[in-house]
Amino acid sequence: MEATPAPRSGPPASTRLDSYVDRYAARTAGMTASEIRALFAVASRPEVVSLAGGMPNISGLPLDVVGRAVAGVVADHGAEALQYGSGQGHPRLREQICEVMRLEGIDGHPDDVVVTVGSQQAVDLVTRVFCDPGDVVLCEAPSYVGALGVFKSFQCDVVHVEMDADGLVPAALRAAIASVRAAGRRIKFLYTIPNFHNPAGVTLSAARRAEVLEICRAEDVLVLEDNPYGLLGFDAEPMRALRADETEGVVYLGSFSKTFSPGMRVGWALAPHAVREKLVLAQESATLCAPSFSQFAVSAYLSEHDWQGQIKQMREMYRERRDAMIAALHDFLPPSCSWNVPHGGFFVWLTLPPGIDAKAMLPRAVTARVAYVPGTAFYADGFGSSCLRLSFCYPTPERIREGVRRLAGVLEAEMELRATFGATAPGVAAGPRSGYDGPSTDLS
Amino acid sequence: MEATPAPRSGPPASTRLDSYVDRYAARTAGMTASEIRALFAVASRPEVVSLAGGMPNISGLPLDVVGRAVAGVVADHGAEALQYGSGQGHPRLREQICEVMRLEGIDGHPDDVVVTVGSQQAVDLVTRVFCDPGDVVLCEAPSYVGALGVFKSFQCDVVHVEMDADGLVPAALRAAIASVRAAGRRIKFLYTIPNFHNPAGVTLSAARRAEVLEICRAEDVLVLEDNPYGLLGFDAEPMRALRADETEGVVYLGSFSKTFSPGMRVGWALAPHAVREKLVLAQESATLCAPSFSQFAVSAYLSEHDWQGQIKQMREMYRERRDAMIAALHDFLPPSCSWNVPHGGFFVWLTLPPGIDAKAMLPRAVTARVAYVPGTAFYADGFGSSCLRLSFCYPTPERIREGVRRLAGVLEAEMELRATFGATAPGVAAGPRSGYDGPSTDLS
């Protein structure tokens, strides 16, 4: 099996073909750059109102407190915080993580916690530990683009399960399990975001939580509960986590990215004991350990600051932005659009009038200086073309209102085009489209 | 394909069998806990002289400088440093990384650099991008335990290539390539640590560098050059990197873990343009981005501190420890042992008298309050039983001398046992043994 030597000299690397194209792993077929990535480079210009990004708004963080905390970490714990740590994570931080989880009814043990490089890495490690190529992962329809990217990169097949205003639909979950198994295929887990869903904005009701757990117990399906937004509810106390009522059948993922700082890259998994052991081995192989310095910094922030008071302020800020977005949608959008009113988190899921394609419309929206993420990004199967995700987390209320006003103008023009030329108008299409739009940090 | 529901109640998780045992991915077969891990828990007690760990000695770091740097990052760049960053890494840091690589003759472009969570993650991402199950990776014999762990976790087959005092043996490399290809198997890359090898301590000579590159060009084998220790030479200027003389055929990995702080978890890959694009996609899927805060902190440290002067101090410190170890080996060990004198880095590779098994001897060594890593940890194929790795990076010169003295005592007892009972003595064995001993942070 002699290979032909590839050319080693010639034009600069950036202008030549990829000489490695035949040598990549099969899994790279599922690791493709987003078609809309180039558009997002444009969308990051200041004149564009981006309703696309999922970045938390950290402008309210007390930088004086954080500055003192990180300086204190160096002065008081430098020898440990600047050194390698254990693959499982800093013991004191794992205790604090258990205190955080207690707010959602979880009675977890620090020994069952693995600290990860953001909860994104936790999704990656769980998938690495469980999934062979061709295994099925059940996901809500739509689902988080970054998780879909992980599942694709491990060559899993995603089967979407319907949601409604109360979250995942139990009957649809039963049906999906039955149909996948009838096809002789193996389900490795149900990936779910019960609170303030990304991108759908909905929350799984308490009654549904019990029902979903009951189904997964009866059918022996592991639940991967991803909960980055659980403490960011606008109206009520945090909901009880799935993990609070099921110890062995749930791997729970949490994160400090939305409640403190994504730049620290500190998330975690709480897993049944045997799974936790595998996750630690996977973590050691992937990165040796999550960043020690970040772990000490998060630990110091939690110890030294009123972090719950800080989260309360964040919730107020996000609620004000949510209100601004809902009011603007109501004021500017035609009645043939529909959307939900999220009770927490960052996102509104908007359904466009029949026949309008959100991805085809995006270039015109960016030209009109507003950006969003087309719904297809959140499906592994090309569905979602008539939907889009709007984020209210980052811009000011005034900018949000202006962004929705611009979006309404673009949509009106699109609808006129369709009324004049019908479904054959360029860029106007309906039904599932091929292609997967993520992941990218812009979309997270 | 109905699965039988696993029991969901019963004894606490820690005492029950793993109910997920039939559900893990096939790759987890290659992700096993080290047999010697339990011993290392004992070896971390203060009364034990550990010559096992590969942790850099960061006691000389100027904590005042680092403290000011991290506080300055929060004050001056908090909005960016505490936020998500790009999957490729912070642009200013990538420029500084190119300045660092220039010390080894590399003319790299910041656009071809991907920042990773330590260079461990870079090994993981490169393997993820290139290797399907059953692909062959060529590695030196012995090789870095953490890299072997990654290759196993991606179900690669490692083929070891002989080294001698001048590093990788070119004729052995040619022979390995020919024999793997004659068997109809696919080589994905040669993984090599040219400078101050972990664990072998040797450095690839300048003449051999040219020859290895020539072979890999002619045979079209990608080189993965892992270089964490290159700036930690004791005697001379840094050697010219393989990547300095070959742009398209080498992926170069670097790290700030040994020259600044492993707790920051900042490493990097410099890759041909097309490969770099794949690595960024893999990085986004794995962690979204390397920790922004760490990236800003490393960048500030490089800008504000005489980091090259700091490295010079580190080299002096490590040289003193190397000298202490070599002197002690000379003073205490029997003439039937052999070892190399490393000109940089952290490690001495010790070959025991015929018939003495380093892994079998380890429990007795730990009882005598000295620890090392048995040679088998550094082979994917069970070889290395008569060798062990000694680290001189962490303990003081006095402790190193005491550790080697204790080791000599254990070895003497072992040799007496063997002289009395022959090869049938318990724990005395020769030849390859099965089992893989890593990875673990202790062994890094």
> Over B352-374, what HEC string results?
CCCCCCHHHHHHHHHHCCEECEE
- What is the reported pLDDT for A36? 66
User: Which pair of tokens denotes residue B344?
Assistant: 């940089």
Inter-chain contact B288–A118, Cβ cutoff 8 Å? yes
Give the residue among B284, B230, B9, B261 at the shortest CA–CA distance from B121: B284
CB A365 within 8 Å of CB A410: yes
Closest chain A residue to the Cα of B289, Cα to Cα:
A441
CA dist B260 and B70 (Å) reads 14
- What is the reported pLDDT for B12? 46
Q: H or E segment at A277?
A: helix A273-287
C-alpha dihedral, B241 to B244 to B245 to B246, nearest 10°? 100
- What is the reported pLDDT for B441? 41
Q: Which residues of chain A are within 8 Å of residue B52 when distances are taken between CB atoms? A: none
Q: Which residue out of B8, B74, B216, B299 would a mutagenesis test of the A interface target, given it has the greatest number of A Cβ atoms within 10 Å?
A: B74
Helix, strand, coil percentages for chain A (3-state, nearest 5): 45, 15, 40
* Residues in Cβ contact with A183 at an 8 Å cutoff, skipping those fewer than 6 apart: none
pLDDT exceeds cutoff 50 at B145 = yes
Q: Is A60 in CB contact (< 8 Å) with chain B?
A: no
Q: ipTM of this model?
A: 0.92
Categorize the per-residue pLDDT at A18 as very low, low, confident or very high, splitting at 50, 70 and 90: confident
pLDDT exceeds cutoff 80 at A433 = no
- Which B residues in the span 112-131 are in contact with A, Cβ-Cβ below 8 Å? 112, 117-118, 120-121, 124, 128-131
CB B187 within 8 Å of CB B138: yes
CB A292 within 8 Å of CB A80: yes
Q: H or E segment at A409?
A: helix A397-421
Q: Is A11 in CB contact (< 8 Å) with chain B?
A: no
Q: Which residues of chain B are within 8 Å of residue A218 when distances are taken between CB atoms? A: 5
Identify the bridge partners of residue A401 per DSSP, sorted by sequence position: none
Give the residue among B329, B364, B416, B331 at the shortest CA–CA distance from B48: B364
* pTM reported for the whole predicted model: 0.92
- What is the reported pLDDT for B16? 55
Categorize the per-residue pLDDT at B317 as very low, low, confident or very high, splitting at 50, 70 and 90: very high
Nearest CB among A18, A181, A273 relative to B13 is that of A273
Nearest CB among A63, A82, A291 relative to B78 is that of A63
Instruction: Give the length of chain B.
Output: 444
* Other residues' Cβ atoms within 10 Å of the Cβ of residue A431: 10
Angle at the Cα of B284 (from B253 to A399), degrees rounded to 5? 135
CA dist B422 and B328 (Å) reads 28
pLDDT (tens digit per residue) in A131-173: 999 999 999 999 999 999 999 999 999 999 999 999 999 999 9
Nearest CB among A120, A286, A294 relative to B293 is that of A294
Averaged pLDDT of chain B: 91
pLDDT (tens digit per residue) in A326-340: 999 999 999 999 999
Identify the bridge partners of residue A339 per DSSP, sorted by sequence position: A350
DSSP letter at B251? E
- Strand, coil or helix: A420: helix
- What is the reported pLDDT for B40? 73
CA dist B117 and A264 (Å) reads 12
* Other residues' Cβ atoms within 10 Å of the Cβ of residue A407: 26
Identify the bridge partners of residue A136 per DSSP, sorted by sequence position: A157, A187
Inter-chain contact A82–B261, Cβ cutoff 8 Å? yes
Inter-chain contact A28–B129, Cβ cutoff 8 Å? yes
CB A158 within 8 Å of CB A137: yes
For chain B, report the end-to-end CA distance as a whole number of angstroms.
43
pLDDT (tens digit per residue) in B99-122: 999 999 999 999 999 999 999 999
CA distance A288 to chain B (A): 6
CA dist A341 and A354 (Å) reads 21
Give the residue among B214, B266, B220, B201 at the shortest CA–CA distance from B242: B214
